[in-house]
Structure 1
Amino acid sequence: MDFEKLDVWKKSARLSAELYKALKELRDFGFRDQITRSGLSVPSNIAEGMSLSSNKQKQHFLSIAKGSCAELRTQIYIGMDIGYIDKKQGRAWLIETREIAAMLSSLMNRIKADGG
């Protein structure tokens, strides 16, 4: 399956782009770099995993994507606490990261059911 057709890839790529746009003026380069890297890691690992032939490899990269999603969620919480991220925007992103994580779990379960 082409990763570009996956809703979870589309959603996570859109979130990654949103993070870059929203935080482009942030002067704390360390925080900005870390949170945008976490966000970028999710769709990147989905793409890499789904481009591989073995189900075990797919599972591995989807697991990394799910871990990056949890990392991103943590950074959003911290960003909200320290005033870098608007609370309303942060809450919306937290919901999206939970949805993405659930979608990744579902995709991993489908791959497992297919013999992986």
Structure 2
Amino acid sequence: MSKLYQGIVGACDKLVPGSLRPLWEHPAGPKTIFFWAPAFKWGLVIGGLGDINRPADKLSIPQTTSLAITGLIWSRYSLVIIPKNYSLFAVNMFVAAINAYQLGRAFKYRQSLEKK
């Protein structure tokens, strides 16, 4: 751990109320990468939600496929690691679900083109 990060955690450590101590001290809590990686991965979910209104012809099938599969793989992984990381599970399930929906939209659009 870097000295800067240790300093920040040490300063925040004094401010955490007793009721939040179990979360703060958890092996997958805010003191670890196990907390921050899923927190920042919510950006993929927000991006996927932003693409809901994007025209289906502009969706990339390879990209949405890889994101959906990656979401499923990491969801499984988050439940077999120790400690189990439920925040990583949740974010990856959302990534998988949003991209599966987008993939469905893209396929439906491509099928409508083939019928014409």
Q: Please indicate the TM-score interval, normalised by the length of the shorter structure.
A: 0.3 to 0.5
TM-score (norm 1): 0.43
Query: When the two structures are superposed, what TM-score results if normalisation uses the length of structure 2?
Result: 0.43
